[in-house]
Amino acid sequence: MYFKNREQAGVFLANTLFEKFKKRKPIIVAIPRGGVPVAQPIAYLLDSPLTIISARRVGSPSNQEYGIGAVSEDGQVWMDYQELGVLKIEQSKIDQSVDRTMLAAIRSLKAKGVKEITIAVPVASECGIDLVRAEVDDVVSAYTPTYFTAVAKWYEDFSQVEDKEVLRLLEMANNPPVKDYFAQEVEIEVEGVKLMGTLTLPKNNKAWIIFAHGSGTSRNSKKNIELATKFNEAGFGTLLFDLLTEDEGRFRATVFDVDFLAHRLSMATRWLKRQDVWRQKPIGYFGASTGAAAALESCALFEPDIFAVVSKSGRPDLAKSLKRVNAPTLLIVSEKDKQEIELNEYARKLIPQAKLHIIPDDLEQVLGESKDWFQSVLNRFRKDHHVDA
């Protein structure tokens, strides 16, 4: 399975399209009903209007599920003449209604005077892309498998989209909410285990912050969500995910196995890097409790290109490779916890680029210190690596 649902496919596709259209404002045209859930996040993240164009498939007389052509709302017709020949069907019997909806929609757009057309699909066969490419200016497919069967095979949920859902999405696209970020639930497969996460993408993403939760908390904790939301509002994309499955979390030995947690965090980081255009953005870690140790160990052993780390009320002393951490690291500790201050001071002396901030136990101050750290380090990172904003 490649996509969880149409919405996730749309977010993936939006990032594939971002570089091409970031300085333009294309009109996003969806073919209802199934195309609308894919198109809505694209329109939102590209800050573009969304409209629809109707086209209907025509099936073979002997099997209505087998498409042989299509007709658009304004009567533009496309038909597969090769299939007509194989089926020995006369053209005059097909012209009244036909399948292959996208090709009919393309002809309809051309008839309306559209000057440039880019077709974007989450998944398609190579022959399907070749067929469409001859009709348009560009074709973008997020995934083109070598062995392509039915489109539904590449989705976990490919259920039918109802008319009321189409209307809701169109309303949302053309009257977007005030927030400038888009969130979705994701599944991260790590060596046969599925880890649940929440991936949030701002319209102008500066960098990614991956949360590494400690023992006794999860991606759904109120504090983590509040911190992530504030990062999103500041222009940082976030990945909140559970390092352990529910069953794994029941075993104390696993909860405190920093090597195991660091490996999991590294696998999630590599998953994020594989998400097409997203891999162009720097990635930082925000860790708490044992999650902070996992973040530092992951930096040291697996992910040397992490641009910054923030540890909040963490146990960095549990990491074994602190001297090998290259990322600038901010250690935030509550002034009330004397033992934690000592443990973090120990870690500060070992981490080459580390600062220790002792502050009141106040969420707003934690947020301010963290945002300032990520932003200042990101500015230096961009300058050193010649990365555009």
pLDDT of residue 62: 55
Whether pLDDT at 115 is above 80: yes
Strand (E) positions, the chain? 28-30, 50-52, 55-60, 63-72, 77-79, 118-123, 138-143, 181-190, 193-202, 207-212, 236-241, 283-289, 309-314, 329-334, 354-359
Tell me what the mean pLDDT of segment 116-123 comes to.
92
What is the per-residue pLDDT across 170-188, written as a single tens digit (0 to 9) for each? 887 777 665 667 788 888 8
Residues with Cβ within 8 Å of residue 121, at least 6 apart in sequence: 13, 139, 140, 141, 142
Rounded-to-integer distance, Cα 39 and Cα 383, Å: 35
CB atoms within 10 A of CB 361: 12
Rounded-to-integer distance, Cα 47 and Cα 176, Å: 9
Size of the chain, expressed as the number of residues it contains: 389
What is the per-residue pLDDT across 185-207, written as a single tens digit (0 to 9) for each? 888 888 888 898 999 988 778 89
pTM: 0.68
Would the CA dihedral through 18, 238, 190, 160 be positive or negative?
negative
- Asked if 320 and 295 touch (Cβ cutoff 8 Å), the reply is no
Whether pLDDT at 136 is above 50: yes
With pLDDT > 70 as the criterion, what percentage of the chain qualifies? Answer: 84
- Asked if 330 and 300 touch (Cβ cutoff 8 Å), the reply is no
The encoded tokens of residue 310 equal 């923030």
pLDDT of residue 202: 85
Hey, what domains does the chain have and what are their CATH numbers?
A: 6-174 (3.40.50.2020), 181-385 (3.40.50.1820)
Indicate the burial class of 201 (C-beta count within 10 angstroms; 0-12, 13-18, 19 or more): buried
Indicate the burial class of 264 (C-beta count within 10 angstroms; 0-12, 13-18, 19 or more): buried
What is the per-residue pLDDT across 34-62, written as a single tens digit (0 to 9) for each? 999 999 888 888 888 999 987 666 555 55
* Residue 275, helix vs strand vs coil: coil
* Residue 272, helix vs strand vs coil: helix
C-alpha count within 13 angstroms, C-beta hemisphere, residue 67? 16
